[in-house]
């Protein structure tokens, strides 16, 4: 774990976004063009080439989805239902509403997208939780049709927990397609996979490259890279808790980025020691160990305020204030995908059952992007409904501004109405 000391050195090392993967961009471009031209045939061929066997089918039947819901252990089903209910309740609280000002004759019409495609990675773990975190907010928003895709090779079905989560969340249809070809299929539509208006969810470098290239053809929620967690610790922090939070994300991906920012060198030493002890017991220690060895950083600063300054520069996906009294510092946070305040607001709870979606901006994009939420699935249409009196109050100013810009046709459109109303 690399150790740096001081605010300026930390800012120089940690700030800045992750570069694009040019090879992934080239591969994604070829896949997108192939799927656009050849539909299901391209999806089947590409998936077969990548997995070593052709896909036996593209869509999972409702019978198989319902069977998975019955087959999973009761405790798993109950945990998924708890997660779905908490996410639903959180998103309902955040749901914007249409509004209108009768005096000023304007407002906003809030309407949901019609069709949404949610991508759930397969990779090395069956991410049933990501089904909840993408589909439930879409349902709360009122999206008409919510489709899910997740990879599975050959004739195999996706993991039963993933299919059960699809049933619990309310996904309309489930497809077993992964990678850039899944994103292209959602963007253009194929004989089996319908085209959608918006694609959401995280994925690997090829999925992210495809989403980047298809933005504009279809709505894109964000571009997600490797997961990252920044833990702020002081002399009151529990080293074991801090280490566990860092490893919880490091086990996702060898490119995961665990960062510790501490006001206490002694606590930092204890966290690093705890991290190595816990790492030895992790079944996924090869992945987590490489992430720690390659990407982990420990930063020593003079104060919690400086630690949060580092965090704001990094704009991490997860920011954990693992200190006894985080409340005075919450207002200082400006750039984080999700904020976990206090040692018992463990990031793992956010991953599964806290309520907010765990699909959060990575790679510094929390500087301008937000965690996936109900608003991503909504359109906000301004509405202007002036009567003649309201028009006359502001029409002259519109005409003046139009002529100041040299747009006389604009001015004429206002002045004609003004003349009609005053009888000239």
- Please identify, among 321, 347, 373, the residue that sits at the C-terminal boundary of a domain: 347
Tally of domains in the chain? 3
Residues 215 and 242 in one domain: no
Residues 54 and 198 in one domain: yes
Give the C-alpha separation, 92 to 152, whole Å. Answer: 32
Give the C-alpha separation, 67 to 80, whole Å. Answer: 16
User: Domain range for residue 411?
Assistant: 386-422
Residues 194 and 273 in one domain: no
- Asked if 187 and 277 touch (Cβ cutoff 8 Å), the reply is no
Residues 154 and 248 in one domain: no
Residues 323 and 401 in one domain: no
Q: Is residue 208 part of a domain?
A: yes
Q: Is residue 371 part of a domain?
A: no
Instruction: Please state, in angstroms and as integers, the Cα–Cα distance from residue 13 to each residue in 126, 296, 315, 326, 396, following that order.
Output: 34, 12, 13, 25, 55
How many CB atoms are closer than 10 A to CB 395?
A: 18
CATH code for the domain in which residue 51 is found? 3.40.50.1980
Exposure string of 292-307, with b = 16+ CB inside 10 Å and e = fewer, is: beebbbbbbbeebebb
pLDDT of residue 18: 55
Interacting residues of 238 by C-beta distance below 8 A, sequence separation 6+:
322, 343
Give the C-alpha separation, 312 to 367, whole Å. Answer: 8
- Please identify, among 220, 247, 274, the residue that sits at the C-terminal boundary of a domain: 220
Structure tokens at 132: 């909840």
Residues 340 and 210 in one domain: no
Residues 49 and 93 in one domain: yes
Give the C-alpha separation, 106 to 101, whole Å. Answer: 6
Q: Is residue 365 part of a domain?
A: no
Residues 122 and 179 in one domain: yes
- Which residue numbers in the chain have pLDDT < 70? 12-13, 15-20, 424
Q: Is residue 168 part of a domain?
A: yes
Among residues 159, 318, 358, 376, the one annotated as catalytic is 318
Residues 44 and 136 in one domain: yes
- Please identify, among 220, 237, 255, the residue that sits at the C-terminal boundary of a domain: 220
pLDDT of residue 16: 55
- Asked if 366 and 334 touch (Cβ cutoff 8 Å), the reply is no
Q: Is residue 374 part of a domain?
A: no
Name the nearest CA neighbour of 1 among 273, 249, 233, 227: 273
Residues 84 and 184 in one domain: yes
Give the C-alpha separation, 151 to 119, whole Å. Answer: 9
Q: Is residue 375 part of a domain?
A: no
**318 tagged catalytic:** yes
Q: Is residue 353 part of a domain?
A: no
Among residues 317, 343, 347, 415, the one annotated as catalytic is 317
Q: Is residue 127 part of a domain?
A: yes
Residues 311 and 184 in one domain: no
**75 tagged catalytic:** no
Residues 338 and 407 in one domain: no
pLDDT of residue 123: 75
């Amino acid at each position: 774990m690399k150790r740096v000391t001081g605010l300026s050195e930390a800012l120089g090392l940690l700030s800045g976004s992750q570069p694009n993967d040019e090879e992934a961009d080239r591969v994604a471009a070829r896949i997108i063009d192939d799927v656009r031209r050849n539909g299901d045939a391209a999806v089947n061929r590409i998936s077969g080439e990548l997995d070593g066997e052709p896909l036996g089918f593209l869509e999972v039947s409702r019978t198989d989805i319902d069977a998975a819901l019955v087959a999973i252990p009761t405790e798993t089903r109950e945990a998924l239902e708890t997660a779905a209910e908490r996410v639903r309740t959180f998103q309902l609280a955040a749901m914007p509403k249409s509004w209108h000002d009768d005096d000023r004759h304007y407002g906003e019409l809030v309407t949901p997208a019609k069709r949404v495609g949610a991508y759930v990675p397969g990779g090395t773990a069956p991410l049933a939780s990501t089904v909840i975190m993408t589909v439930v907010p879409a349902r709360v928003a009122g999206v008409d049709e919510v489709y899910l895709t997740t990879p599975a090779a050959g004739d195999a079905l996706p993991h039963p927990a993933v299919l059960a989560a699809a049933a619990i969340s309310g996904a309309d249809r489930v497809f077993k397609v992964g990678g850039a070809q899944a994103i292209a299929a959602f963007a253009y539509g194929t004989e089996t996979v319908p085209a959608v208006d918006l694609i959401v969810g995280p994925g690997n470098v090829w999925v992210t490259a495809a989403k980047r290239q298809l933005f504009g053809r279809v709505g894109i929620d964000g571009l997600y890279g490797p997961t990252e967690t920044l833990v702020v610790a002081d002399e009151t922090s529990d080293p074991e808790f801090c280490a566990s939070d860092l490893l919880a994300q490091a086990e996702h991906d060898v490119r995961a980025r665990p960062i510790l920012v501490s006001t206490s060198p002694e606590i930092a030493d204890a966290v690093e020691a705890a991290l190595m002890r816990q790492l030895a017991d992790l079944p996924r220690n090869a992945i987590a160990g490489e992430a720690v060895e390659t990407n982990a950083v420990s930063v020593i600063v003079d104060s919690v305020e400086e630690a949060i300054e580092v965090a704001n520069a990094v704009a991490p996906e997860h920011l954990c204030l693992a200190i006894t009294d985080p409340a005075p510092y919450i207002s200082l946070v400006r750039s984080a995908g999700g904020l976990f305040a206090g040692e018992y607001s463990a990031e793992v709870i956010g991953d599964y059952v806290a309520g907010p979606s765990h699909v959060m901006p990575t790679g510094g994009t929390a500087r301008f992007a937000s965690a996936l939420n109900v608003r991503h699935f909504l359109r906000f249409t301004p509405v202007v409904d002036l009567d003649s009196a309201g028009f006359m109050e502001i029409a002259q100013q519109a005409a003046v501004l139009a002529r100041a810009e040299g747009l006389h046709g604009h001015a004429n459109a206002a002045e004609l109405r003004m003349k009609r109303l005053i009888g000239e």
